[in-house]
Amino acid sequence: MNRYVQQGDNPDITEERLKATFDVDRFTEFYHGGLKRLKSRRKVERYLEEHAELRDIRPTPFMSRDELIDNSIRKLAGMAKFNEMIDLNDIEKTTYFLQMVHVRDSMPFSLHYLMFLPVLNSQASPEQLATWMPLALSGTVIGTYAQTEMGHGTNLSKLETTATYDPNTQEFILHTPTISGAKWWPGSLGKFCNHAIIVANLWTQGKCEGPHPFWVQIRDSETHEALKNVRLGDIGPKLSLNGSDNGYLIFDNFRIPRENMLMRHSKVLPDGTYVKPPHSKLAYGGMVFVRSMMVRDIANHLANAVTIATRYSAVRRQGEPVPGKGEVKILDYQTQQYRIFPYIAKAIAFRIAGEELQEVSKQLKKGEASQLPDIHALSSGLKALVTFEVQQGIEQCRLACGGHGYSHASGIPELSAFSCGSCTYEGDNLVLMLQVAKYLTKAVTSPVASGICAYLHKKSSALQSALSSHKTYSDLQIVQDFEHVTRRAVLQAMDKLKIASGTMPDAWNRCSVELSKAARWHIRLYIVRIVLSKISTAPEDLKPVLRTLAKLYIFDLQVSNKGHFMEEGYMSAQQIDELKEGIWDAMSTIRPDAVSIVDAFAIHEIELKSVLGRRDGNVYPGLMEWTKHSQLNEKDVPVAFDKYLAPIIKKLRSRL
């Protein structure tokens, strides 16, 4: 049953929706985490439908950078009139509202909501929160989060910005010693925010205590001009996010009160004595929270891409396999299915993993230290793996749309540019994977490993996989096979590290490729476990389609990495062939449900921003309508033609 069927739709897409073998609304409810959360999303969507002033006046690909900034601020000002949609006690609803208003071109205040407020909430003391949070929520304080420096990203210990405590005045002195130490990249830092949470290396009593966050006012409350000893500005256009004024910031011995250090977990006393946090990882609570949100949101980028590619493939006809029978839907070609369907499965798997990570990361807010290493490693590894594979998937979806996928009308170029930045911001992916590898080295050498690392201390129950048929391949067998491959990858990398010569940094560098691969397997194992566990709790009527999607994700992962599963004869060539058959069977089963599955993601047209992926399937009239937004079409003869080409043509004709 698919409620997306409406009169006036393209007959081809209606035909697809009538094939649904499951209730699309039930799937949507499962995918979005329950009816309550789904109703909250739809409330936001209705709100945007009813308030045109919160939407773009024309498609953003046709706007200049100045127009993009103006468009963002215009919508932001409109949001101020409708602040009932901003509720920091419901961060999911608030985030979705912001995403729907600004979609994929960001906005000057995005980091205020996505980083500044969450970090303030997790790192400030109760007394500080009582003072600062009302200001931050009122709109009088507009904040950003400034950690990254021009020459320093994820290596926090080497940040150059310093906060040196002066006990005589009970102030911290913020200073940028070199150009490479300039804060660089934070959204809204350039022109629009007036405060920032600054991450700087804290010095007190002649000792560096490492990076800490500070609440810092950087612009005058009345004039909005930069304060004395503060230099800041916009860094210029980027690949995407050009509706945001990503900026730079330089301090010249700028003083702030001692009380401006965020002191939930650590503090500096008036005499300069440093009080350590109960656990070193607690200082990274804000970062872990943001990464947990990123995993789910980036998975949604992939859901957008596969929705566009699947819907378009259902209405695009090309090729006539049987002469005289007419052209067929490109979704009927197995090659097209193999390009798209595994990424539909990944979108669901990654979303499930992101949801689970958000749940476990909530323990950081409680200050519980026992699982912090696990959570920190998971957030790092999932962010790295998911962002990279989502970017690959978006590109495959662009290719699946043929030539039209190259047009901004498809929505995919903007989506791709928007999404690819996630591979580097909030931690470079390779650096994060190596952080996971360091965590695994400790888990391997620990006498006892529990939780998600317990598999490292298991002994393989068999020298060979028990797989006989993909149809009888149980969840338990799947997990055992992934544990075997992951354990082997981790132990091999650790063995190589042990025998590597030279200093530990040199040895680590020479083994870093194998170490990052092992870390990637650890994260894959986690995703497989979580997906199978989550689907086992799904409503019975949804289990068939969900299990088919899960098997497609898992079998494709195994076949694509068959060398790891075949090492030392753990799996045979025949078993790999059996998994291939499982892939073809899964794709065949998914084919009649494909459009209904992506419909169940419930991605609103405002968010999708795609002519090719429009709900009604009326792609070709939509493409012609798209051309009306082009400024080049405002005049039949462009000014440039009259200015440059016409005189040349006239001169050439005179010689004929």
DSSP annotation string for 27-84: HHHHHTTSHHHHHHHHHHHHHHHH-GGGS-SS-GGG--HHHHHHHHHHHHHHHHHTGG
Rg (CA), the chain: 27
> What is the predicted pLDDT for the residue at 254?
98
**What CATH number is attached to the domain comprising 192?**
2.40.110.10
Token pair, residue 395, equals 């590109």
Question: Are the C-beta atoms of 108 and 241 separated by less than 8 Å?
Answer: no
pLDDT at residue number 153: 75
> What values do phi and psi take at 7, rounded to 5?
-65, 145
* Cβ–Cβ under 8 Å, residues 129 and 111: no
What's the start-to-end Cα distance of the chain, in Å?
70
100 found inside a domain = no
Question: Would you call 105 helix, strand, or coil by DSSP?
Answer: coil
Looking at this protein, which amino acid is placed at residue 63?
Answer: M
Which letter does DSSP use for residue 453 in this model?
G
pLDDT confidence of residue 282: 57
DSSP state at residue 593: G
The DSSP symbol for 89 reads: T
- Ranges of residues in the chain with a pLDDT under 50 are none
Among 162, 185, 191, smallest CA distance to 175 is for: 162
Specify the 3-state DSSP secondary structure of 428. coil
**Nearest to residue 529, comparing CAs of 378, 353, 362, 366?**
353
In a domain, 176, yes or no: yes
175 phi and psi, to 5 degrees? Answer: -145, 140
At residue 394, the pLDDT reads 98
**Residue 218 belongs to some domain of the structure:** yes
pLDDT attached to residue 255: 98
Q: Is 426 a catalytic residue?
A: yes
Q: Of 160, 118, 132, which Cα lies nearest the Cα of 259?
A: 132
Residue type, 236: G
| pLDDT tens digits, one per residue of 519-559 | 999 999 999 999 999 999 999 999 999 999 999 999 999 99
* Pairing of the two strands 274-275 and 183-184: unpaired
As a dihedral over the C-alpha atoms of residue 371, residue 373, residue 374, residue 376, rounded to 10 degrees, the angle is: 120
Give the number of other Cβ atoms within 10 Å of residue 35's Cβ.
Answer: 11
Residue 267 lies in a domain: yes
Q: Is 198 helix (H, G, I), strand (E, B) or coil?
A: strand
Query: Does the annotation list 148 as a binding residue?
Result: yes
pLDDT confidence of residue 25: 96
- Rounded to whole angstroms, how far apart are CA atoms 456 and 26? 38
For 189, the domain range is: 122-277
Neighbours of 277 (CB within 10 A): 17
Provide the β-strand partners of residue 254: 174
- Residue 279's pLDDT is 65
Domain presence at residue 51 = no
Report the Cα 382 to chain-centroid distance in Å. Answer: 10
Number of domains in the chain: 1
Q: Is residue 199 part of a domain?
A: yes
Q: Scan for tokens 């594979």, then name that residue.
A: 389
> In the prediction, which pLDDT does 443 show?
92
127, containing H or E segment: helix 126-138
What was the pLDDT predicted at 102?
85
CA dist 475 and 549 (Å) reads: 14
Q: Tell me, what's the pLDDT at 88?
A: 63
Burial class (CB in 10 A: 0-12, 13-18, 19+), 60: buried
Q: Give the active site residue among 171, 355, 426, 607.
A: 426
DSSP state at residue 112: I
CA distances from 300 to 305, 343, 347, 357, 494 (A): 9, 12, 7, 15, 35
Q: Is 187 annotated as a binding residue?
A: yes
| Predicted local confidence at residue 366, as pLDDT | 60
Instruction: In whole angstroms, give the CA distance from residue 479 to residue 493.
Output: 21
Residue 652 lies in a domain: no
pLDDT of residue 481: 97
Helix (H) or strand (E) holding 254: strand 254-257
Bridge-partner residues for 149, per DSSP? Answer: 152, 183
Q: Is residue 569 part of a domain?
A: no
pLDDT of res. 106: 66
Q: Return the DSSP state at 641.
A: I
